[in-house]
Structure 1
Amino acid sequence: MQLIMTMLGGGLGELLNYLSAHVVTCLVPAFFIAGAMAVLVTKGAVIKYFGVQAKKWVAYGVASVSGMLLAVCSCTILPLFAGIYSLGAGLGPAVTFLYSGPAINILAIALTGAAIGWHMGLARGIGAILFSIVIGILMSLLFRRSENQRLEEMESLPAETSEKPGLFLVLFFGAMVAILIVSTSKLNLWIKVALDLSLINSLAIMVHHYFIKGEFTSWMHETWNLVKMVVPTLLIGVFVVGMVTSVIPSHWISNYVGNNTLGANFVASLIGALFYFSTLTEVPIVKGLMDLGMNQGPALALLLAGPAVSIPNLLVVNRIMGWKRTAAYFGLVVVMATLTGWMYGYFLAG
């Protein structure tokens, strides 16, 4: 009974801590940004930029940051990846998209920064972008001959673009990102309120002039769908993490991933690449492990490997591109996450 009470108390404490004003003010703007991206940035426009007709630097560049635009989880990315791959996207850009999609979406980066620290959020974003490109290029080189044969049989991708002017999209999303930054800053409360109200007013003007009938409703609908999909699972995950970390001996964590060694980073990467993490639950899990003594290097390795790869994810990817490519993808993710985490930990220690 004492064990159960300890676990319940730990879960409740972690949940209350997670629902702090700082995290809430971070998540709310991020949900609205993600919802707007789902409405205003079309899938066809994304496909256009890393299809076979695109320049390589454009294809890899867009694929590596498209997760920030689409704000999808590892489950949602699979049908998008399957569609893109079957339509004729190159293996390299498609794999870059497959990894980066769930790894760097705006919700994950914002929550990582708010819950663990902006240095970790920044490292996660930069690390995911850079080695998603490296993984894509290596995959393309490894299977170059078979890929050339596959692409020769593919037709050109449709040239579909967003209907909104580029300047509008920059200003619109820039205003929402500014709200996120202001809301999570350490400015005086009244200054934050004044700045946020000014930015919200600017958004209202842009919506009035540039949104067509039904788009605002679609934006709110997509935002609410994201909230329903993410928040319940996230809160359950936070509660479970609090329960588990309240009874795990801290020396277990310190023994295996308490130091920034290649072995510790490999263990963290391998665990992250095998076990399934629901959208954003990797953040409270890593935060709980860090509270028990996990080093920041292995923590980043787990954050980089966990959201993008899992056994269920790999089983689906295997059906799309075959076991050889899937095995290579899995191995590259583990190796790159290990090296990135180790270098990050080494940099902090220095």
Structure 2
Amino acid sequence: MNTLAQNTRHWSVELALKIWTKERVWLVSLAILIVLFLFAPDQGVESAKFTATNLRDVAPFLVLSIGIAAYAGATGADGLIARAFTGSPAVMILIAALAGGLSPFCSCGVIPLIAALLAMGVPLSAVMAFWLASPVMDPSMFVLTTGVLGVEFAIAKTIAAVSLGVFGGTVVHLLAKSGGLTDPLREDVGNGGCGGAKVRTAQPVVWTFWRDSARVTKFVREGIKTTLFLAKWLTLAFVLESLMLAWLPADLVASTLGGAGLAPIGIATLVGVPAYLNGYAALPLVGGLMGQGMAPGAGLAFLVAGGVTSLPAAVAVWALVKRPVFLLYLGIALSGSFAAGLAFQLWVTL
């Protein structure tokens, strides 16, 4: 009996850990709403309505972004990234930055892809350009940014992503020419997994994927996966935004992150590093802050800095490259994000 009880308890713990690992974002959102309904029922009702209304309003953009991501995966268009790393250094840096900022590349494939590129001898400058631009923007992110923050902000964020990639790639190229940054990979890093295979054995793109049953299955699978991913993060984001709008004093936001000076942009750049949740979840949060007086340049700096230095992105860089390259990555990300926010703030005030 004791053995049965121990096995049951062990199985229950394992099941709870699995559920928490896979569904923790949904569970956090649910837990917040439950606590609100128990201790602040009026705010609980308001937060639930706010979340449902905003999910409804962003649904058209959500559907379009899901379609783009699923289509790219089903057709093999994400494999076009392999063609970005050929040519002269200047061409490689520019194309790699464009590829990172514009291609719907799966985030789970970035780590093995980068490992494969570096192991194959692709210059670190081009890899860094892609690596810096990739977490900031892609077509689905552009669509959702347009729906939440407007097309002008989406265009500015795209330009910032590509510019950051070009800036970082150029800095790395100049340092490499002077004899630095040799052998950037850690000793125990291989040549990548499935993501790296896309570089080593690039496959042709099948634009009419619906003629292939396997690709149709992949389209459906990618669509469901992307839907669940975006829905859970946007739900959490809107719940948090409702609390922020209710309890965060607007005058505090306006005085700290408002205005056209350097301080708000600098603060937003630094705050973006620890406060950033997820590229999709951050959009409505920044929208709420801007509605309370946050400067547009500060909002852009927050999104760019947070995207590049978010925990998943930073851990990926740390896992693959040596410490000097990692520190250079952080320095370029923060300085480039600050410059992008400043440039955008100057643009909107003209």
Q: Name the TM tier (shorter chain).
A: 0.7 to 0.9
Q: 1:229 and 1:55 mapped to 2: Cα distance? A: 38
Structure possessing the higher relative contact order (Cα contacts under 8 Å, 6 or more residues apart): 1
Q: 1:30 aligns with which of 58, 65, 68?
A: 65
Shift of 1:290: 0.9
The separation in 2 between residues aligned to 1:238 and 1:289, in whole angstroms, is: 12
The separation in 1 between residues aligned to 2:161 and 2:55, in whole angstroms, is 27
CA shift, 1:146, in A, is 4.0
> Deviation digits for residues 61-118 of structure 1, max 9, x if unmatched?
3322334323444x66334333333333221111121122121112211111111111
Q: Which residue of 1 aligns with 2:307?
A: 307
Change over 3 Å in CA distance of 1:117–1:43 after alignment to 2: closer
Does the alignment pair 1:161 with 2:197?
no
Contact 2:73 / 2:218 at 8 angstroms: preserved in 1? no
Q: 2:54 aligns with which of 12, 18, 26?
A: 18
Which amino acid letter does the alignment assign opposite residue 50 of structure 2?
Answer: E
Cα RMSD for the two superposed structures: 2.9
Tell me the distance in 2 between the aligned counterparts of 1:320 and 1:133: 21
> Match of 1:231, as an amino acid?
A
TM-score, length of structure 2 as denominator length:
0.77
Amino acid at match of 2:343: M
Distance 1:304 1:132, change over 3 A: same
- Residue segments in structure 1 that go unaligned for 5+ positions in a row: 170-205
- Decide whether aligned partners of structure 1 residues 86 and 237 sit closer, same or farther in structure 2, where only a CA change above 3 A counts: farther
Task: Answer yes or no: is the 8 Å Cα contact 2:65–2:141 preserved in 1.
Answer: no
Provide the residue aligned with 1:327 in structure 2. 327
Alpha-carbon deviation of 1:224? Answer: 1.4
Q: CA deviation at 1:44?
A: 5.5
Give TM-score scaled by structure 1 length.
0.77
Contact 2:241 2:285 in 1 (8 A): yes
Q: Within the alignment, does 1:278 sit opposite 2:278 as a pair?
A: yes
In percent, how many aligned pairs have the same letter?
A: 19
What secondary structure is seen at the aligned counterpart in 1 of 2:309?
A: coil
Q: What SS does the corresponding residue of 1:104 show, helix, strand or coil? A: coil
In the alignment, is the contact (CA less than 8 A) between 2:132 and 2:164 conserved in 1?
no
Report SS of the residue matched to 1:54: coil
Are residues 1:105 and 2:138 paired?
A: yes
Aligned runs of 1:119-138 on 2, under 5 Å? 119-138=152-171
Structure 1 residues 94, 77: CA separation in 2 closer, same or farther (over 3 Å shift)?
same
Counterpart selection for 1:80 from 103, 109, 113: 113
Distance 1:5 1:86 in 2: 56
Task: For 1:229-244, list aligned pairs within 5 A.
Answer: 229-244=229-244
Matches within 5 A, 1:334-345: 334-345=334-345
Once residues 248 and 45 of structure 2 are traced to their aligned partners in structure 1, the CA distance between those partners, rounded to angstroms, is: 14
Equivalence for 1:70:
104
Match of 1:55 among 88, 109, 127: 88
Q: What's 2:76 paired with? A: 41
Question: Matched residues in 2 for 1:347 and 1:30: separation?
Answer: 28
Structure-2 change in CA distance of 1:118 and 1:297 (3 Å)? same
Q: Partners in 2 of 1:253 and 1:226 — Cα distance?
A: 33
Q: Which has the larger radius of gyration?
A: 2
CA contact (8 A) 1:6 1:243 kept: no
Moved more, 267-276 or 139-148: 139-148
Give the partner amino acid of 1:105. D
Deviation at 1:207, TM superposition (A): 4.6
Q: Where does residue 259 of structure 2 map in the other structure?
A: 259
